[in-house]
Amino acid sequence: MNGSLSEIYVMDCDTLYLVHANDAAYLNLQYCAAELAGMTMLNVTRGLSEKKLTEALQPLRTSNAEYVPLELTLVRRDGTTYPISFRVFLSHSMIIAIGNDQTASIASAQALGLSESRFRAIVSNMPGLVYQFVRQHNGEISFPYLSDGCHALLGVTPSQLRSDPTLFADLILPEDMPSYIDSMMASARTLSAWNWEGRIWIEKWKDTKWINLRATPRTIDQSHERPGVAWDGVMTNITQSRLEKHEIRSSREQLAELSAHIELVKEQERTRIAREIHDDLGGNLTAIKMAMALLIRRLPETPELLEKAHYVEALADRSIESAHRIAADLRPSVLDFGIVAALEWHAKEFEKQAGIPCSFSSNCEEIQLDPDQATALFRIFQEALTNIAKHAHASRVTVKLALSKRCVDLEVADNGRGINTADRMKPKSFGIRGMVERANALGGKLHISPIAAGGSLVRIKIPLSTT
């Protein structure tokens, strides 16, 4: 008795006096053996009368019951109470009561109940399905837990899915099934988070949904060589967000196409205007200059008339130069000689106009690009040098052009103050955005990154045309 952790009380069958108790009983009740010897169980309990105790013990006296259960509240010597669960036995003239303090178990039950209430409250307010999914080592699957959101998301009730777990896989579209299986097996193999997006078809609603599955794995059934895996997670309906992403992507593609079309039309218009300036206006100005030269030779030796004539001739010369410059700005005729010659020419022009040394190198003397690609690459190069002249405060620029089997790579590096992300994200930073859009329209990529020694590197990669 004294070695038992349970409280044991021995009572006289007729008088109900406590004859003996073990050490666990003395310790919890805070009474010694001499003090308990003059008491009955009624003296150390709350809410128990002799009538209730007699009625509770009656089955032991009148039937063959092995024991009777009895739930009581015991009162310690200091007045504190605790719940106890007894099993009461009848042995000859003695009543033996073996009990266990229920304080800890009741507290645990209350805490568990509170946790379950919180869990149910959280789950009931979640916009999706909270679930537990188990895959045994032999491939058998089950859904031990499914929240009430099961039917709203999957079109089947929790009881239906628990009784037939294969119903979930049957909902997945065949083309999305491989990714579902692969992601599940990868999660089980590495015990990493399971994150999968796919489509399900709900026949009775004639509806296709996009769902997102997120779950955390843990191993179970360690007794087998290949233990099973259980996932605890959430499934949510992401159909709306997927549609919105599709619309955004489609809208961006349409904007990119529109931007590319506008740039193409703009370049075509520039080419047309440049040609008209060069051919019509340039031709007319040249004819005026020739006529003025002839007129000057035939004018009388009148100083005033000769001065006016030479002024008009000089004005014609300046107009011809302006026409050539404007035509070159609209579309440099040097592009007709190839992209390598055009970039090298513009690098020299930049050096002259900005006063910043600009070195140019290419691994090929000629690179064959279609006119649209050549023009776009030239415009990007123009904008990069313009930005350097305006903002970089650089003292040197290095330009490298390289041709590989699949793409053309252009690098423009300067030793200026560099460019940070905030500068690139300014609301009116249209120059860089225009460069990016031109590169994207050609299927290429443009990257701007800082240089460790100071300055920035603009790198453009454009794939070669397959036509």
User: What integer is the mean pLDDT of 31-38?
Assistant: 88
Structure tokens at 33: 């053996």
Q: What is the pLDDT of residues 332-380, one digit of tens each?
A: 777 888 899 999 999 999 999 999 999 999 998 888 888 888 888 888 8
* Signed CA dihedral, 31, 37, 40, 43: sign only: negative
Q: Which residue has better confidence, 121 or 85?
A: 85
pLDDT the model gives residue 400: 94
Is residue 156 pLDDT above 70, yes or no? yes
Q: How many residues does the chain have?
A: 467
Q: What is the mean pLDDT of the chain?
A: 87
Report residue 31's pLDDT band, with 50, 70 and 90 as the boundaries. Answer: very high
Residue 422's pLDDT band, with cuts at 50, 70 and 90, is low
Checking if the pLDDT of 425 tops 70, the result is no
Dist. CA 213–CA 190, nearest whole Å: 17
* Domain 334-463 CATH assignment equals 3.50.50.60: no
Per the CATH hierarchy, to which homologous superfamily does domain 7-106 belong?
PAS domain (3.30.450.20)
Do residues 347 and 339 touch, judged by C-beta distance below 8 A?
no
Give the C-alpha separation, 161 to 289, whole Å. Answer: 93
Burial pattern 311-350, b for ≥16 Cβ within 10 A else e, equals: ebbeebeebbeebbeebbebbbebbeebbbbbbbbbbebb
Write the class of the CATH domain 126-237: alpha beta
pLDDT digits (tens, 9 = 90+) for 103-144: 988 888 888 888 888 877 777 777 889 999 999 988 899 999
Which of 306-315, 337-346, 389-398 shows the lowest per-residue confidence on average (mean pLDDT)? 306-315
Q: Which of 404, 414, 408, 401 is nearest to 448 (CA)?
A: 414
Q: Which residue has the tokens 């004005």?
A: 315
Question: Can you give the pLDDT at residue 423?
Answer: 61
Give 228-282 pLDDT, tens digit per residue: 999 999 999 999 988 888 888 888 777 777 776 777 777 778 777 877 787 778 7
CA distance 391 to 394: 8
What are 35-53's pLDDT values in tens digits? Answer: 888 898 899 999 888 888 8
Task: Let me know: does 27 contact 77? Beta carbons within 8 Å.
Answer: no
Distance CA 339, CA 140 (A): 64
pLDDT at residue 362, as a whole number? 93
CA–CA dist 384, 226 (Å, integer): 60
Residue 155 has which token pair? 């079109």
Contacts of 180 (CB under 8 A, 6+ apart): 169, 172, 196, 198
Strand ranges (E), 6-160:
7-12, 18-21, 68-75, 81-91, 94-101, 129-135, 141-146
**What is the structure's pLDDT at 126?**
76
Contact yes or no for 16/90 (Cβ under 8 A): no
Asked whether the CA dihedral 167, 172, 174, 179 is positive or negative, the reply is: negative
For residues 10 and 21, is the Cβ–Cβ distance under 8 A? yes
